[in-house]
Structure 1
Amino acid sequence: MRWLGSLHAEWTKLRTLPSTWWLVTATVALTLTVGAAAASSLTTQVCPSPAACHEDTVKLALTGVQLSQALCLVLGVLSMGAEYGTGTIRTTLTAMPGRWRVLASKALALSLLTATAGALAVLSSLGLGRLILPTPADGTTLRAAGGSVLILVLVTLLGLSLATLLRDTGGAITLGLGVLYVVPILSRLVNSPTWQHRLQRWTPMPAALSIQATKNLERLAIAPWPGLGVLAAYAVGLLAVGGAAFRLRDA
C-alpha cells in the first residue's frame, strides 16, 4: 500500500507540473513532423517498393526520435529539479521518508508516461512514413519501433538521474544535452578511426540509435540490442548513483 500511495503521489505531482503536458505533446509532434519530413526527402522513384529500396526507410521515418529525446530529457530533469527549485522536496520527504521508494515511484511514473507518449509518437511516425514511402512491416520494423520507445524512456530516466545527482535543473539539462549531442559531434572530429569506432560504440546516443537500423547491420559500430544496452547502462547506473546520493544527503 505504501508503494501505491507513493506512486499515486508522484503521478499527481507529475501530471500537475505545468511543463509536463507541453513536453509530452511536443515530443509526439516533433517525432512525427521530423520523421515525415525525413521520409519526404525520398521519392517513390528512389524507393518504388520495400524490396527495391536500398534506403533504410524505417530508420528514416524514426529520425524525429533523435530530436524529441531532448524533450524527454528535460521532462525527466524537471520532475525532480522542480522540487529542488521550489523547496517542495522537503515536504515530499517529510510525507514519504523512504527515499528509495520516492525515487523509484518517480522513475516508474515517468517511464509509464514517456512510454505511452513514445508509443503514440513512434507508431504515428511509422504509419505516416508508410503512406509516404514503402516501408516493410516485419520483425526488424517492430524491433526498431520498440527500441525507439525505449530510447525515449531511458533518456527520461537519464534526466531524472542527473537532476537527482546535481540538484540543479540548469546544470542537469546542460550536462544531459552535452552527453546526447555534443559528445557524438566531437567523436566525428577525432582523427583516429579506432577512437571514432570506440566512441560510436560506447557513447549513449550513437550506440542506442543502432536499434533503429533495419538494413546494413554489418556496418554498425555495435549491434542493435547491445547498443540500446549501452544507453540503459548509463541511465540505470546514473540512477543508482543519484539514488545513493539522494539517500545520503540532506534535502
Structure 2
Amino acid sequence: MSTPQPSLQQAAPGAPYAGYTSPIPVVRTHLGHALASEWTKIKSVRSTLWTLGVFVVLVLGIGLLAGALVAANTSTESDLGGQSALSLGFFGLLLGSMCIITLGVLTTASEYGTGMIRTTMTACPTRGRVLAAKALVFFSVAFVVTLVAAALVAFVQVGMVTGAREPSGGEWLKATVGVSLYIALLGLLSLVVGSIVRHSAGAITIMIAAVLAPLVIAMFMFASSLEDVRQSLFEYSIPNQMSVFYANSLSESGPSGWDPLWIMLGVTAAAFAGAYALLEKRDV
C-alpha cells in the first residue's frame, strides 16, 4: 500500500502567491549605517593598528628625545631663541604624518585592490554616501589619535625644558588642536587621492611627493629669475605650513596664524568634489 503524498497547492495562472513576511525588519538605509560599516572596517583591519601604532611611536619617541636633548643643553630662555618648548613637537609630527597619509590612502585604495569595493557598493549603492562615511570615520580617528599624541608630547616637553619660555594659550591651541586638524585633513586628502587613483602604491607616492617635492625642488633653484617661484615653494610647502602652528616658519613671509588650515581645507574640499564626480561616473 503506497503512502499518500502531501498535495502541493498550485496557484492558478495569474493568481498571486501567498505573501511572506520576513522576520528581519526592513528599514531605509541612511548615513548612520554606512558610518557603522566603515567604522567596523577601519577598526578590524591590521593596517590601522600598524600605521597608527608607528605614528604614535614616532611622535612620542622623537618628541621626547628632542625634549631630552634640548633640556640637557639649555638653561635659559635665550638658548632657544625665545621660543617655547612646544616647537620641539614639530619633528615627530612631520615624520608621523607619513603614517596618516598611508592609512588615508589604504582606507579607499585597498578596497579597489582586493575587489571589496564591489561588495561595499552593492550594500550601499549610493556612492557619495560611501565616500562621505569613509571620510568622516577616517578624519575622526586621525584627529583623535593625533590630538592625544601631540598633547601628550607637548605637556612632557614643556615640563622637561625648564629654561624655555612659557607658552601662551593660543600657542597651546595651535600646537595641539590646530596641528591635529591639519594632519587629519592631510590624511583626508590622501584618502580622496586614493579614491581617484584607485592604486595604493601610486596614491602613496603622489602624496609623499606632494609633501617633500616642493621643498626639495626649491633647494635646487639657484637662478635669480626663479627666486619668486623658489620662495613660493618654500612658503607653501607642507613642512613649512606645519611649522607655522609652532610659530617657527621656515620663511619670513607666506602663511601665518591659522592660514595653513584654511589652505589645506580648500585643497581637500576641491579634491573631494573631484573624487565624488569620478566615483559617480566610473565603474567599480
- Unmatched runs of 5 consecutive residues or more in structure 2: 1-28
SS at match of 1:222: coil
1:38 to 66, 83, 90: 66
Structure 2 CA distance for partners of 1:250 and 1:217, relative to 1, 3 Å: closer
Structure 1 distance, partners of 2:249, 2:124, is 50
Deviations along 1:133-177, one digit per CA (max 9) or x if unpaired, are: 135242222222212101220121011011100011110001111
1:19 to 26, 47, 50: 47
The question of 1:160 aligning with 2:191 is answered yes
1:233 to 266, 269, 276: 266
Structure 2 CA distance for partners of 1:216 and 1:103, relative to 1, 3 Å: closer
Q: Offset at 1:201? A: 3.1
Structure 2 distance, partners of 1:58, 1:185, is 26
Q: Offset at 1:71? A: 0.2
The question of 1:142 aligning with 2:176 is answered no
Larger of the two Rg values belongs to structure: 2
Q: Offset at 1:241? A: 1.1
Q: Offset at 1:50? A: 8.6
SS at match of 1:219: coil
2:147 to 95, 119, 133: 119
- Unmatched runs of 5 consecutive residues or more in structure 1: none
Name the counterpart of 1:193: 227
Asked if 2 retains the 8 angstrom alpha-carbon contact of 1:10 and 1:109, the reply is: yes
2:129 to 83, 94, 101: 101
Please identify which structure carries the higher helix content. Answer: 1
Q: Offset at 1:25? A: 1.6
| Residues 68-77 or 55-64, more deviating | 55-64
Q: Offset at 1:92? A: 0.5
Name the counterpart of 2:282: 249
SS at match of 1:240: helix
Asked if 2 retains the 8 angstrom alpha-carbon contact of 1:210 and 1:224, the reply is: yes
Deviations along 1:10-53, one digit per CA (max 9) or x if unpaired, are: 11111111110111121111111111222233246634359985
The alignment of Structure 1 onto Structure 2 pairs a total of residues equal to 250
Deviations along 1:72-118, one digit per CA (max 9) or x if unpaired, are: 00000111111101101011001101111100100000011111110
Name the counterpart of 2:18: none
AA matched with 2:262: G
Q: Offset at 1:220? A: 4.4
Q: Offset at 1:239? A: 1.9
Q: Percent identity, aligned pairs only?
A: 26
| Residues 123-132 or 136-145, more deviating | 136-145
SS at match of 1:190: coil
Asked if 2 retains the 8 angstrom alpha-carbon contact of 1:217 and 1:223, the reply is: no
Asked if 2 retains the 8 angstrom alpha-carbon contact of 1:147 and 1:211, the reply is: yes
Asked if 2 retains the 8 angstrom alpha-carbon contact of 1:39 and 1:133, the reply is: yes
Name the counterpart of 1:206: 240
Structure 2 distance, partners of 1:201, 1:10, is 36
